[in-house]
Structure 1
Amino acid sequence: MAQPTDPLADELWAHLRRTQPHFALHAGEPVTQLPRGTHEEAVDAAALGRRLLAGLDRLPGSAAGTSTAAVVRELAGQLAGADEDYWWSFPVAPYQTFTWTVFGQQVFRPFTFATGDDVKRYLSLVNDFTRTVKAARTKLAGQADRGIGLPRPALPGFLSTVRTQRGAAAEFLRPAESRLADLDAAARGELVDGVDRLIVDELLPAFDRVLTYLDGPGARRAVDGVGLGQYPGGAEAYRRLVRQYATYEIDPADVHELGLAQVERLTAQLAEIRREAGFDGDETAYRAVLEADPRFHAPDAEHVAATYRRHIAAIEPRLDQWFRVRPRAAFGVQRLDPELEAGMTFGYYEPPIATNPVGRYRFNGSGLADRAQISAAALIFHELVPGHHFHLARQAEDATLHPLQAQGAAEFFGAYTEGWAEYAASLGFEMGLYTDPWDRYGACLHQRFVAQRLVVDTGLNLLGWPEDKARAYLASMTMESPAQVASEVLRYGTDLPAQSLSYRLGSEKFWQLRRTAERALGSRFDVRDFHEVVLGCGTLPLTAVERNVDSYLNG
């Protein structure tokens, strides 16, 4: 049945499908344009956000309180600030250019050619990609003019990323001859000549202008630190980002203190596990023992995959005791494409789509000599089951949800998406999946790694921490290699400020709501019912999840 919020949700969902190709693909629609990364696009998005907020304010009270309205209001609020927030992300950072790689994987490589219209659409998309690279150069200069100079510690990574993207794009934009068999000779010639012209005359020079800027004016105007707080207006921009990722009000200073307290608690838990194991040395000595143990270092990527599959096999028989509904889509693990591994610390969950109907954890199989596997159980429970797959695949299958919720909202509500996954991984303790002391130690290490993000992210972006202080603190909290530590610090301070907070802030909110439900219901509490309350409505801002739990307890 139609709801008063549907026209607003429809308009927002149409905007997402039109401007972000992966949403169109998930909806089974052809991609007709790519985002160009210009300030003009951000201005248009902000105007849409303000118009949607005004539309929500005109709805009757009953409609304004629905889950769909909560999603529209939160997303519209984010859009409404897009023009101002535009300047606070560096377009050539590894996590920002990840979308360029996704264009290659999801748009260009699978593109099928049957008619001349397909050729014209493909050439238009190549032109859009070229304009995106051009816009990156324009944005970098505009940032410098506003006092947002490039962070010098990140420059080598920016340069490496752009060079890699330059080579990859020139390859994936040229379709293989085998894909052109259905085109007549004229259309095939138009496509091949058109792509070559755009690459040689437009795209490669655009990449080169970005590289020249990074090496020249960008380097000369670079600043020595990392973090938003070093720039004029940066502290306030960071506060907005914290609210955006948390989807509820919380002061960044309180986030920092929460992180310190949780790190202290988890450090004590790790010490207790070491004592139970009969080890009387400190954590540094124990880490050396673990790092030297071949059980925690996979010799190759297939061994990594086999470890994940072993943990999946352990949890599968227990899932029905904790969840009333499972996703219909199958799930599994697969290594990342090589061009992605250098710029990503771990990996990501790839939800099922029509052309690839299996939800997968795409893991980083490189650098295994320096990549400890002791937290593999917690990681796969977070990334796959009962974490991202039980959330994202299930809601995509729910025909009662507006597609804005089923397919769109998860990308924007990190505290729900990543918070649920962290909460799901922590269920392993009560599900009896961490009875092995090694897995238990690894799970606590994983939790502390996520908790330290509250400390380091706020330290870098609000409290003026230098990069070396952040690296030293993070290194003391993890078994990751120095290279991985450096990658994480730059992720917090230059690539995605505040995004990493969503993991722990979200999981804390889920646990807070669960403890509230347990106290209120006592012996009547059923964890499967609680999980239905927080999962059954799809992705929501956490303020709306809290309202739903209150209704469940008082209904």
Structure 2
Amino acid sequence: MHAPGNNPHAEGNDADAPGNNQYAEGNEVARRVTGLMDAAWERALERDPVTANRLGRTVEHLPVGSPEEIASAVAQARKALADLSEVDLATADRETRIAAGFLQDHLEQEVAEEDRHWYRFGVTPYYSMQLGFYRSDLPHLAGNYVQVVEQLARNLDEQRARGIRIPSWACGIVIDTMRSYAAATPEIKAFDKILDGLQQDADSNNSDVGIGQYDGGAAAYEGLIRLHTGLDLTAEEVHRIGLAEVERLTGQIAQELQLTDEEAYRRQLANDPASYAKDSADLERRYQAHLDRLSGVLDEVFEKLPEAPFAIRQLDDGLAGGLTYGYYEPPGADGVGYYHYNGSDLANRPLIQAASVMFHEGLPGHHLQLGRQLENKALHPLRREQLELPTFAIAGYHEGWAEYAAGLCKELGLYPDPIDHYGRLSAERFHAARLVVDTGLNVLGWSREQAGDYLARAGFLSPVEVESEILRYAVDDPGQALAYHLGHWHLKQLRAGAGGDLKQFHEAILADGPLPLRLLSV
């Protein structure tokens, strides 16, 4: 995965200025769409100081995340949608129609935040990452940072008043995450208030799971499916696709690896010391060995590779407990894209899926796609840059591509070791299982035990990993995990119907930059 909306430190240039892009040279319709894109870009930078800062903008304040700020953003999005609806796209060129479709979807997601933001917890491992970016990238706004934390405490209180609170079983990791931020800034007393409230949540014996337990939560989840996948599917449809895909992949594993007893094979791998890294240096060596096999292969199936190199870094200790694997950081000031890997608890983290993870996170996955995206100066910055806002329905495109890329490497013979081959297929099945478990936990009435048992059967996860995955689906970021396999599944469908050669298909997917999957055509 790549960090939610995160592209810290990338250098800006004159192409980031509103109006300085390919769309501004077209006809009146193109100019009107460009003007609306420019305005949306400026509004986005107001609410996304991390991106504004790395593009060289002067940042004088942080958005505190208050209900009043949300209401203002929603009102502006509604006005922009009305303006966009008055643009006659019948005679527009292809690029203008693509831009308008992207903008409309983004604005609709902004309007949805009016209610949706109450179902998001700013203290969980994924969403609290914003606090770290504010502190590291914008230290001159320390006073404003205090206000952000204070507002976060007020938001949590308002969520509790609405009956929306973190269940007690999830509070341990969340408390640890907040303690790491509090330790870095002990002078901010609002962290004490947050931690006191979380401890009360932990003591509440609330064992419920999923967003569907809250009033309005099921409807919010339906919107999150569209946001995270870019597709128009119901939870029931997603669940059925997941069940069918898990069954298909289980059969494929048995056939391709000639396994008559997969459970025994998994126990054998779990008990083999060779399945585990001795330390972080050993882990990096193994990751790099997989990447080295790509040399000379990718030119055969891609017209263009990113200019930026790719490297590996260990994840910050404060985030290791809440992230099963890690995250990808696109090229920044040093011109390098990084995978931040989880180097904790290595004795309990088998590396059967290490090759699949590297091809997903690096090349030809996130690094190829996002590296090219950031280097494509023909794209409007609203489409090119990775923004820190949860209002872009492109996770299905990004994570779907990364999973498609890891699967493509199987076609290219890049899993020569049977263990890596099994690791890839089990990884794909694990992502398919997420469709079942995420929908099950959030709206279909599954218990944590039921979800854990299903993940244990369908994936190759340790108990620690199962715990962090369930936290992710049911509390931290409901619906986000759907992006991986549904995106992969949708891209395979597009490829099957496209015809032509592989290079042409890949270029058709990559050349236009990120889009909600339902708007993607080849």
TM-score (structure 2 length as normaliser):
0.90
Letter aligned with residue 265 of structure 2: Y
1:530 aligns with 2:513: no
Is 1:134 aligned to residue 154 of structure 2? Answer: no
Is 1:69 matched with 2:111? no
Q: Does 1:215 align with 2:215?
A: no
Q: Which of the residues 224, 229, 254 maps onto 2:207?
A: 224
Larger Rg: 1
Secondary structure of the residue aligned to 1:239 is: helix
Return the letter of the residue paired with 1:15. R
Matched ranges for 1:181-196 at <5 A: none
Match among 405, 421, 426 for residue 424 of structure 1? 405
Aligned pairs for 1:298-337 (under 5 A) are 298-337=277-316
Q: SS of the residue aligned with 1:361?
A: strand
Change (3 A) 1:395 1:371: same
Please tell me whether residue 42 in structure 1 is matched to residue 70 in structure 2.
yes
Report SS of the residue matched to 2:520: helix
Identify which range, 527-536 or 141-150, moves more after superposition: 141-150
Partner of residue 297 from structure 1, selected from 276, 291, 298: 276
Tell me how far apart the structure 2 counterparts of residues 531 and 94 of structure 1 sit (CA, whole Å).
33
Paired residue for 1:53? 81
**1:26, CA displacement in angstroms?**
3.8
* CA distance in 2 between partners of 1:128 and 1:284 (Å): 53
Separation in 2 of the partners of 1:537 and 1:208?
46
**SS of residue paired to 2:264:** helix
Q: For residues 53 and 161 of structure 1, what CA distance do their matches in structure 2 show?
A: 38
1:348 offset after TM fit, Å?
0.7
More helix by share: 1
Label 1:362 to 1:60 Cα distance change in 2 as closer, same or farther (>3 A).
same
- The equivalent of 1:386 in structure 2 is 364
CA shift for structure 1 position 221: 5.7
CA drift at 1:85: 0.7
In structure 1, C-alpha distance between the alignment counterparts of 2:100 and 2:278, rounded to whole Å: 50
Question: Could you tell me how far 1:88 is from its partner in structure 2?
Answer: 0.6
Preserved CA contact (<8 Å) 2:177 2:318: no
Q: Distance in 1 between matches of 2:113 and 2:462?
A: 36
- 1:227-238 matches, cutoff 5 A: 227-238=210-221
1:76-91 equivalences in 2 (<5 Å): 76-91=107-122
Q: Is the 8 A contact 2:314 2:342 kept in 1?
A: yes
Q: Which residue of 1 aligns with 2:6?
A: none
Whether the 8 Å contact between 1:346 and 1:364 is mirrored in structure 2 is yes
Aligned to 1:544: 519
Q: List aligned pairs for 1:379-458, cutoff 5 A.
A: 379-408=357-386, 412=392, 413-458=394-439
- State the 1:539 CA deviation: 0.6
8 Å contact 2:78–2:107 — kept in the other structure?
Answer: yes
The count of residues paired between Structure 1 and Structure 2 equals 488
Mean alpha-carbon deviation: is it higher for 62-71 or for 495-504? 62-71
> Aligned to 1:491, which of 472, 485, 491?
472
Superposition pairs of residues 18-33 of structure 1, within 5 angstroms: 18-33=46-61
| Distance across 2 between alignment mates of 1:273 and 1:232 | 46
Alignment partner of 2:348 out of 347, 370, 388: 370
Counterpart residue type for residue 82 of structure 2: A
Inter-partner Cα distance in structure 2 for 1:254 and 1:512 = 16
The aligned residue for residue 193 of structure 1 is none
- Provide the rounded CA distance (Å) in 2 between the counterparts of 1:145 and 1:69: 39
In 1, the alpha carbon distance for the partners of 2:450 and 2:371 equals: 39
Distance 1:86 1:225, change over 3 A: same
* Preserved contact between residue 323 and residue 528 of structure 1 (Cα < 8 Å): yes
Indicate conservation of the 8 Å contact 2:177/2:319, yes or no: no
In the alignment, the residues of structure 1 paired with residue 461 and residue 414 of structure 2 have an alpha-carbon distance, to the nearest angstrom, of: 23
Residue 149 of structure 1 contacts residue 222 of structure 1 at CA under 8 Å; is this kept in 2? no
Once residues 92 and 264 of structure 1 are traced to their aligned partners in structure 2, the CA distance between those partners, rounded to angstroms, is: 36
Letter in 1 for 2:149: V
Q: Which residue of 2 aligns with 1:112?
A: none
Q: Tell me: CA distance 1:410–1:169, structure 2 relative to 1, closer, same or farther (3 Å).
A: closer
Contact 2:135 2:145 in 1 (8 A): no
Q: Does the CA-based 8 Å contact 2:276-2:351 persist in structure 1?
A: yes
**How far is 1:489 from its partner?**
0.3
1:410, distance to aligned residue in structure 2 (A): 9.6
- 2:379 & 2:387 partners in 1: Cα distance? 11
Q: Distance in 2 between matches of 1:89 and 1:383?
A: 26
- Aligned AA for 2:512? C
What percent of counterpart residues are identical? 40
Shift of 1:35: 2.7
CA change 1:223–1:492 in 2 (3 A) is same
Q: Residue 187 of structure 1 aligns with which residue? A: none
Please give the alpha-carbon distance, in whole angstroms, between the structure 1 residues aligned to 2:177 and 2:360: 28
Q: 1:272 to 1:168 in 2, by over 3 A?
A: farther
* Equivalent of residue 252 in structure 1, options 235, 242, 255: 235
Contact map agreement 1:409 1:539 (CA 8 A) in 2 = no
Q: 1:422 to 1:340 in 2, by over 3 A?
A: same
Flag the 1:67–1:27 CA change in 2: closer, same or farther, 3 A: farther
- Partner residue of 2:326? 347
What are the Cα deviations for residues 392-424 of structure 1, in whole angstroms up to 9, with x where unaligned? 111111111101111046973100010111111
**Alignment partner, residue 272 of structure 1:** 255
The one-letter code matched in structure 2 to 1:142 is: E
Report the AA paired with residue 60 of structure 1.
D
Question: What is the distance in 1 between the residues matched to 2:175 and 2:231?
Answer: 36
CA distance in 2, matches of 1:334, 1:48: 40
Give TM-score scaled by structure 1 length. Answer: 0.85
One-letter code of the match for 2:371?
A
Report the aligned-residue RMSD.
1.7
Shift of 1:44: 1.5
Task: Determine helix, strand or coil for the equivalent of 2:138.
Answer: helix
- Cα distance in 2 for partners of 1:455, 1:409 equals 29
Please give the alpha-carbon distance, in whole angstroms, between the structure 2 residues aligned to 1:55 and 1:316.
49
User: Structure 1 counterpart of 2:295, which letter?
Assistant: E
**Partners of 1:514 and 1:530 within 8 A in 2:** yes
Asked if the contact 1:273–1:437 (Cα under 8 Å) also holds between the matched residues in 2, the reply is: no
Query: Distance between the aligned counterparts of 1:370 and 1:152, measured in 2?
Result: 25
Which of 1 and 2 has higher RCO (CA within 8 Å, sep 6+)? 2
**Whole-angstrom CA distance in 1 between matches of 2:273 and 2:267:** 12
**Cα drift, residue 36 of structure 1:** 1.4
